[in-house]
Structure 1
Amino acid sequence: MTSSERPDTPAVDDPNTPTLSHDAIFDLLSNEYRRHILYHFHEQPQAVATVDELVRHLRTQFDARAAGDTDQLRIQLRHSHLPKLESHGILEYNERSETVRYRDGSEIERLVACAKSAKIPV
């Protein structure tokens, strides 16, 4: 397996897997952009994406007007959402290369799957 592929099952006893409080998890999932970033990684076999790929993903998930200007969305990701997810150990964000590496863990994976299945169609 290459370093950018996700394992089929997360290592539950992995000391690098973040342990988050329920409040932190629900706070991370409370923002629709952060949820959709996590959905993106949850659905993809690759654990690495560029900021531009995440911007394109968000723009396909939301009406372009709702997602706003592409540059504005990129700024929100780079200065708010990606650092917040990184500070909780969910992903690693390299500002220089503008790449994001998802660090899946069993707890967050279960909650992302639950949040995704609970989406109410519009």
Structure 2
Amino acid sequence: MSPASDGGSDTSLSREEMYSLLASRWRRYTLYCLFVYTTPVSLATVADTVAEFEHGVPAETIPDERLTVYMRLYHTHVPKLASAGVVDYDQSEDTLSPDTGLAQLEPYLRADALDDLDDHGSWPIER
């Protein structure tokens, strides 16, 4: 477990906390990655996927945006998800895994995914 995570064990999120966590499109995209990829998944892979989702092109074609996404995830979004017990971030490996709080968000994520995917049609880059 990383220093960024409090472990999240037996954590129950309030409705307000859940809505706050899911308010950010980037945090939702990050959490979708935990369902799509085998975990643990590297933060770099998640950042690439978020950048592709945002811009609709392969991440390697937008290096500046790719770096911006990685840095924002690393400094802002992942710590918020980790402190809520939704993800476990292993800083030494630079990987994300689901934590116990993710199960509480899953029904909301499923509903949000339909809206998010309607905006983009599908995952931007087929894996």
| Common fold by TM > 0.5 | yes
Q: Is the 8 A contact 1:47 1:103 kept in 2?
A: no
AA paired with 2:119?
Answer: P
How far does residue 117 in structure 1 lie from its aligned partner after superposition?
Answer: 2.1
- The answer to whether the aligner puts 1:92 opposite 2:88 as a matched pair is yes
Aligned length: 107
1:9-39 Cα offsets, whole Å, 9 max, x none, are xxxxxx9353101111111111111010111
Q: SS state of the match for residue 89, structure 2?
A: strand
After superposition, residues 1-122 of structure 1 pair within 5 angstroms as: 16-44=9-37, 46-63=38-55, 69-103=65-99, 105-119=102-116, 120-121=118-119
From the two aligned structures, give the one with the greater helix fraction. Answer: 2
Seen in structure 2, the aligned counterparts of structure 1 residues 83 and 90 have a Cα distance that, compared at 3 Å, is same
**Comparing both chains, which one has the higher relative contact order based on Cα–Cα distances under 8 Å and sequence gaps of 6 or more?**
2
TM-score by length of 1: 0.74
1:98 Cα deviation from its structure 2 partner: 0.7
Q: Taking structure 2 as the reference length, what is the TM-score of the superposition?
A: 0.71
Percent identical among aligned pairs is: 18
Change (3 A) 1:17 1:115: farther
**Helix, strand or coil at the partner of 1:100:** strand
